[in-house]
Protein backbone atom coordinates (compact mmCIF):
# COMPACT_ATOMS: atom_id res chain seq x y z
CA UNK A 1 0.00 0.00 0.00
CA UNK A 2 2.86 2.38 0.72
CA UNK A 3 4.08 2.10 -2.87
CA UNK A 4 0.63 3.12 -4.15
CA UNK A 5 0.55 6.14 -1.83
CA UNK A 6 4.05 7.17 -2.87
CA UNK A 7 3.11 6.88 -6.55
CA UNK A 8 0.01 9.04 -6.03
CA UNK A 9 1.93 11.71 -4.10
CA UNK A 10 4.58 11.77 -6.83
CA UNK A 11 1.86 12.21 -9.48
CA UNK A 12 0.27 15.12 -7.59
CA UNK A 13 3.63 16.78 -7.14
CA UNK A 14 5.01 16.28 -10.67
CA UNK A 15 1.80 16.91 -12.63
CA UNK A 16 0.45 19.75 -10.53
CA UNK A 17 2.17 21.23 -7.48
CA UNK A 18 5.65 21.62 -9.01
CA UNK A 19 4.13 24.08 -11.51
CA UNK A 20 2.32 26.35 -9.05
CA UNK A 21 3.15 28.83 -6.33
CA UNK A 22 0.53 28.70 -3.60
CA UNK A 23 0.14 31.28 -0.86
CA UNK A 24 -2.50 29.78 1.42
CA UNK A 25 -4.02 26.55 2.66
CA UNK A 26 -7.24 27.52 0.87
CA UNK A 27 -5.43 27.65 -2.47
CA UNK A 28 -3.82 24.28 -1.78
CA UNK A 29 -7.21 22.72 -0.97
CA UNK A 30 -8.72 24.14 -4.17
CA UNK A 31 -5.83 22.90 -6.32
CA UNK A 32 -5.93 19.44 -4.74
CA UNK A 33 -9.72 19.20 -5.23
CA UNK A 34 -9.33 20.11 -8.92
CA UNK A 35 -6.48 17.63 -9.32
CA UNK A 36 -8.43 14.83 -7.64
CA UNK A 37 -11.39 15.35 -9.95
CA UNK A 38 -9.03 15.28 -12.94
CA UNK A 39 -7.14 12.26 -11.56
CA UNK A 40 -10.23 10.14 -10.94
CA UNK A 41 -12.50 11.17 -13.82
CA UNK A 42 -10.44 12.47 -16.73
CA UNK A 43 -6.86 11.25 -16.53
CA UNK A 44 -5.81 8.19 -18.51
CA UNK A 45 -4.98 5.36 -16.10
CA UNK A 46 -2.38 2.76 -16.98
CA UNK A 47 -4.16 0.16 -14.84
CA UNK A 48 -7.30 0.52 -16.98
CA UNK A 49 -5.43 -0.12 -20.24
CA UNK A 50 -5.43 3.63 -20.83
CA UNK A 51 -9.23 3.75 -21.07
CA UNK A 52 -10.94 6.59 -19.23
CA UNK A 53 -14.52 5.31 -19.29
CA UNK A 54 -15.88 1.80 -19.82
CA UNK A 55 -17.71 2.75 -23.01
CA UNK A 56 -15.81 3.71 -26.15
CA UNK A 57 -16.96 6.82 -27.90
CA UNK A 58 -17.42 6.82 -31.66
CA UNK A 59 -14.94 8.27 -34.10
CA UNK A 60 -17.31 11.05 -35.19
CA UNK A 61 -18.00 14.34 -33.50
CA UNK A 62 -16.07 17.37 -32.42
CA UNK A 63 -13.16 16.94 -30.01
CA UNK A 64 -13.41 19.22 -27.01
CA UNK A 65 -10.72 20.14 -24.49
CA UNK A 66 -11.48 20.41 -20.79
CA UNK A 67 -8.96 22.57 -18.93
CA UNK A 68 -8.39 22.76 -15.20
CA UNK A 69 -6.15 25.12 -13.25
CA UNK A 70 -5.70 27.54 -16.12
CA UNK A 71 -4.79 24.84 -18.63
CA UNK A 72 -2.22 23.03 -16.47
CA UNK A 73 -4.40 19.92 -16.54
CA UNK A 74 -6.12 19.07 -19.82
CA UNK A 75 -8.29 16.24 -21.02
CA UNK A 76 -9.87 15.69 -24.42
CA UNK A 77 -13.24 14.13 -25.18
CA UNK A 78 -15.26 13.64 -28.31
CA UNK A 79 -18.75 15.13 -28.38
CA UNK A 80 -21.52 12.77 -29.36
CA UNK A 81 -22.32 13.09 -33.06
Cα gap 60→78, rounded to integer Å: 8
Q: What is the pLDDT of residues 24-51, one digit of tens each?
A: 999 999 999 999 988 887 776 665 555 5
Neighbours of 34 (CB within 10 A): 15
Cα gap 31→2, rounded to integer Å: 23
- pLDDT recorded at residue 59: 67
* Confidence label for 65 from pLDDT (cuts 50, 70 and 90): confident
Q: What is the pTM of this model?
A: 0.68
* Confidence label for 15 from pLDDT (cuts 50, 70 and 90): confident
Amino acid sequence: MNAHAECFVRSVREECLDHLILFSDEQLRYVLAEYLQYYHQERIHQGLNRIIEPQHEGSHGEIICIERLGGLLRSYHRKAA
